[in-house]
Amino acid sequence: MNRKYGLRISLVCWLTAVWVLLWGTLSPANILGGLAVALLITLLLPLPVVPVQGRLHPLSLLRLQGRVMVDLAKASLQIAWLTVKPGPPPQSAIVRAPLSVKSDLTLSLIASILTLIPGTMVVDIDQARRILYVHVLDVRPERAIEGFFAQLAHLEQLVIAAFEREHEWRPADEEATQ
């Protein structure tokens, strides 16, 4: 089966599942209704094609997921502590974070993960130069900024290991011509 059709079928299945979950009842009518809505959405509002380069590495993806879960828990505890600790409010800053990822897909994945983690939010992306501008909460101690950059570097390594290893990388133009 063609990858393009596999992605469309999985999108229709996902949208149907979301529809059934929103209605809260697993019934033939909800499944058929969800399927009809999913087909209408995918036919009338098609998503743009995003070039996918490289390969997915499941073990590296599991390590990435584990790290994101740890970062989510750690950041949530830090934010909770900031809300109850005495003293002045935390100082925040917008930092410039250059990345070395190659594809737009992995760039947007890193930006999404950073925005998901409490205390950080991507406010701008320089797509051409691969730079994220990230709002970071509580940068008062100098080591907090260093900690953010260390966390970002580790996240970037995990994303590269999961999606765009150097020896498997081919630009989208080469894939299209083959």
pLDDT for position 171: 62
The CA distance from 116 to 52, in Å, is 23
pLDDT for position 173: 55
Low-confidence stretches of the chain (pLDDT < 70) are 1-3, 50-54, 167-178
> Of 146, 159, 148, which is closest to residue 122 (Cα–Cα)?
148
Torsion-angle region of residue 24: left (phi > 0), alpha (psi -120 to 50) or beta? left
pTM: 0.72
pLDDT for position 175: 44
pLDDT for position 176: 44
The CA distance from 38 to 36, in Å, is 5
9 Cβ contact partners less than 8 Å away, ≥ 6 residues apart: none
pLDDT for position 174: 46
CA angle (47, 52, 56) in 5-degree steps: 120
